[in-house]
Structure 1
Amino acid sequence: MSSDPSDPSGAPDEQGPSQWEELMRSLFGSDSEEAMRQLRAQGLDPQALSSSAAFQNDPKMFQHVLDQVKRLLTATGDSPVNSDVAHDVARQVAVAEGDPSLTAQQVRVATEALSVAELWLDAATELPPAGGTVSALSRSEWVERTLPAWNILAQPVAASVVDALTAILKDQLPDSLGLGISGEGFPAGLLGAAGALDPSQVIRQLGAAVFGMQIGTAAGTLSREVFGGTDIGVPLLAEPATVLVPSNITEFAKDLDAPEDEVRLFIALREVAHARLFTHVTWLRGHLLGLVESYARGITIDMDALESSLREIDPTDTEALQGALSGGVFGLQSTDEQKATLLRLETVLALVEGWVDEVTARAALPHLPHAVALREMIRRRRAAGGPAEQTFATIVGLELRPRRSRDAASLWASIDREVGSSARDGVWDHPDLLPGTADLDDPSGYFARRDQVTAEQSDVDKALAEIFSDAEAGTTDDDAPTEAVDGEQPESGPDDPTTPA
């Protein structure tokens, strides 16, 4: 770089070097000068970067880069998902198409719809209201409320992917940084402020950042599509609550023949029905999340596909890594245990969606003229999914779509006709009572199969009772051997083998 003052293009920028010196000091501490010397020896002059027009014209951009680099290299903890990155990306994606603050009118209309829905639903189910807060949320607020659940859902798969990244890139990362450092680790002088980091640790931080970007992208995109807190069938709110996202409901209603008020009330019915189920069936939330986690932990990574996708990219480029991981890196092999877990998960998701579908329709029909059409529209929407759900499938390894929700709705309607809504809702009392795939295949035969199971269980109980009864009878006083008194031998009968000849 020229220092001739008559050459404005080559004159060092007064702001640039001080900014990069700040960066060096923040990352390398007292060893910043040594770090600069080693970087120049490798042909990378950090001071030359200060001539970038972007940094000269936009100091805020430099500060953003500085904060991101510091956050990445000084990240602590063993989580495979960088929740800070997920949060930042999700907020950016959520507001990309606009996210104005809700007006008082929007909040009032949404909360009133939820209150009316509670009253109508009382006639369709014995489960009481969920309680908790009643809210209207902007897209950004929806992200804030649900992002912790997304991070938890993605962690099992993220851990597997980060391990795979570490195995593939551990020898590639140091050279890609242009530092010529061996795979044994970075010199202490190069990361003095954060402590010496070896390539594996850097890769794990990069992997966590990439997964954070993917989670943020999925959650941010979903925030522009969802209507409340329960749209995907898995509870995303940790506490009992009912919420609506008015901006998305308005957008959805534009393409429908039904009035927006009807659309809002129908969606509010679905939200409060989900909330009642997840609140009062206390085992359900943990059961669903446990099945997701169990399935995700068994997912295998296609190492060949992953290595191929990483071959032509810079592993320090988090956006390139994100694209590589979105190209299908999950192995196709599924163990019998994986298949069984996936079947149970899909069945429970269908049962949840079918129950909500049935009680919502029963509550809406007396009040909403377009209830039948709205029910079919929501069914198709849930069955088809959307771009955000597809993105979520790439980061969790499965699609959270209720493939058999229509069959499940028919089953719940059949149970209601036979025994009433109270007994129908009582099926949720314990996971062992839930219908299975055979019941979805043949809803009309549910009670016959249940009676058969009950009869078989009764036979087993009867057999066990007889066994225990016989065992107790075999140890009564009449059958007990006569004890010797004062050293005498017990009396023996003529046929007793102990009788002397």
Structure 2
Amino acid sequence: MVDWDLAVSTAATLTGGGPRVSVTEAADVVLELRRLTDVAEQHVANYTGLSARVDHPPVQVVDRTDWVRTNVEGLQVVMDPVIEKLQAASPPKPTAFGPVGTAVKVVGQKATGVQVGTILGFFSSKVLGQYEVFSGAPGRLLLVAPNVVEIERKLGVDPTDFRLWVCLHEVTHRTQFTAVPWLRDHFLSEVSAFVDATDLDPEALADRVRNGISALADSVRNPDSKASVLDLVQTPAQRAVVDRLTALMTLVEGHAEFVMDGVGPDVVPTVESIRARFNQRRAARNPLDKLVRRLLGIEVKMRQYAEGRKFVAEVVERVGMGGFNLIWTSPETLPRPGEIADPDAWVARVVGPTVSPN
């Protein structure tokens, strides 16, 4: 269904190589990002009270195309079960036009490969780092060196401070998924639940596509619309899973945002300036870029950063970091969708009324 090799080559063509750097500069960036990842790990452990319970592979400092390849590997892990379901639900029928059917299949694979590559190409020039969990346990920490250099130059910030700031965020994600032994399996089980909830009925799928296209068209006309490409595929059962996944991702993203700023000016002396300029750049994107981000659901992720950080900050203020860390006890202690906007409800349910801040 997807020509994955074409997806990678399409993304590589669209994304470009990034900012100009000499061979020596590039090597220095890679070495410093690796060093700062180790520095960040200890700061994150001290600040959060969490430490990895497993040995994790070293950070991978990658370029944009390598980031695409890694994510294609992860997408294949997610998509293979969906493809198997589709093939089981719609087995090929014998026809006198067998060669034509094969040609149509190949064209479809190519078209989908280009579409996937276009989306990955867009992301590959934006993302600074990622903790990739799909390809194998315990996961892989990726830092996209060209994007880090490009953004630090555009912001005009201290390179070492900015690189450490980025490392703090991504290392927090690695810490979450390696210090909390059940978190990765829980996340993957929710993704599997989303796949299992896929409705393969052709008429139902056609209705969702029509409704999704209408929603996307409305989003183009109406800047306040919140429609995204996800609206094309979600069944009611999938929306329930998405609500839970959104709450989980809002927590982990907000926790990382809270940590990267909370570690403090003693570690990242220019952190306040970096945060202010970074947020200003986020808000100043051109209208076309904002539209693309909304259609791809990236604006939802941006809201997750803000809403999750507010949730974490308010819980820590009420019950301290020790009380907050009860959130990692089990899937039942994760915030429910409605509790992200109501930290007191989570505190009352999980921590109880007798715990005081540390």
**Counterpart Cα distance in 2 of 1:329 and 1:302:** 15
**Counterpart Cα distance in 2 of 1:353 and 1:151:** 24
Structure 2 residue runs of 5 or longer lacking an equivalent are: 214-227, 354-358
**Corresponding residue to 1:352 among 252, 257, 271:** 252
Matched, 1:284 2:183: yes
Question: Does the C-alpha gap of structure 1 residues 341 and 109 become closer, same or farther in structure 2, counting only changes over 3 Å?
Answer: same
Matched, 1:88 2:88: no
Structure 1 residue runs of 5 or longer lacking an equivalent are: 1-79, 171-182, 187-196, 310-326, 454-501
Counterpart residue number, 1:250: 149
1:41-440 paired onto structure 2 within 5 Å: 80-95=1-16, 103-129=26-52, 131-154=56-79, 184-186=95-97, 197-230=98-131, 235=133, 238=136, 239-295=138-194, 297-298=197-198, 301-302=205-206, 331=232, 334-335=235-236, 337-375=237-275, 390=292, 401=301, 403-440=303-340
Alpha-carbon distance, 1:222 to partner: 2.1
**Counterpart Cα distance in 2 of 1:236 and 1:389:** 28
**Counterpart Cα distance in 2 of 1:383 and 1:431:** 34
Whether the 8 Å CA contact 2:247–2:336 is kept in 1: the answer is yes
What amino acid sits opposite 2:180 in the alignment? V
What amino acid sits opposite 1:91 in the alignment? A
Q: Give the structure with higher Rg (CA).
A: 1
Alpha-carbon distance, 1:350 to partner: 0.4
Higher relative contact order (CA 8 A, sep 6+): 2
What fraction of aligned residue pairs are identical, expressed as a percent?
A: 24
Alpha-carbon RMSD: 4.3
**Counterpart Cα distance in 1 of 2:313 and 2:173:** 17
**Counterpart Cα distance in 1 of 2:207 and 2:344:** 47
Whether the 8 Å CA contact 2:19–2:149 is kept in 1: the answer is no
Counterpart residue number, 1:463: none
Whether the 8 Å CA contact 1:302–1:331 is kept in 2: the answer is no
Whether the 8 Å CA contact 2:7–2:115 is kept in 1: the answer is yes
**Counterpart Cα distance in 1 of 2:192 and 2:272:** 36
Give the SS at the match of 1:243.
strand
Whether the 8 Å CA contact 2:293–2:299 is kept in 1: the answer is no
Whether the 8 Å CA contact 1:118–1:272 is kept in 2: the answer is yes
Alpha-carbon distance, 1:249 to partner: 0.9
Question: Does the C-alpha gap of structure 1 residues 158 and 365 become closer, same or farther in structure 2, counting only changes over 3 Å?
Answer: farther
Alpha-carbon distance, 1:428 to partner: 1.4
Counterpart residue number, 1:472: none
**Counterpart Cα distance in 2 of 1:199 and 1:452:** 66
Whether the 8 Å CA contact 1:158–1:211 is kept in 2: the answer is no
Give the SS at the match of 2:242.
helix
Alpha-carbon distance, 1:184 to partner: 2.5
Whether the 8 Å CA contact 1:161–1:301 is kept in 2: the answer is no
Alpha-carbon distance, 1:163 to partner: 10
The TM-score, its normalising length taken from structure 1, stands at 0.54
Whether the 8 Å CA contact 2:74–2:134 is kept in 1: the answer is yes
**Counterpart Cα distance in 2 of 1:93 and 1:154:** 23
**Counterpart Cα distance in 2 of 1:383 and 1:285:** 32
**Counterpart Cα distance in 1 of 2:268 and 2:261:** 10
**Counterpart Cα distance in 2 of 1:387 and 1:284:** 33
**Counterpart Cα distance in 2 of 1:150 and 1:255:** 31
Whether the 8 Å CA contact 2:311–2:341 is kept in 1: the answer is no
What amino acid sits opposite 2:43 in the alignment? W
Alpha-carbon distance, 1:432 to partner: 0.9
Alpha-carbon distance, 1:288 to partner: 3.0
Question: Does the C-alpha gap of structure 1 residues 291 and 390 become closer, same or farther in structure 2, counting only changes over 3 Å?
Answer: farther
**Counterpart Cα distance in 2 of 1:116 and 1:293:** 35
Alpha-carbon distance, 1:344 to partner: 1.0
What amino acid sits opposite 1:185 in the alignment? A
Give the SS at the match of 1:103.
helix
**Counterpart Cα distance in 2 of 1:378 and 1:288:** 29
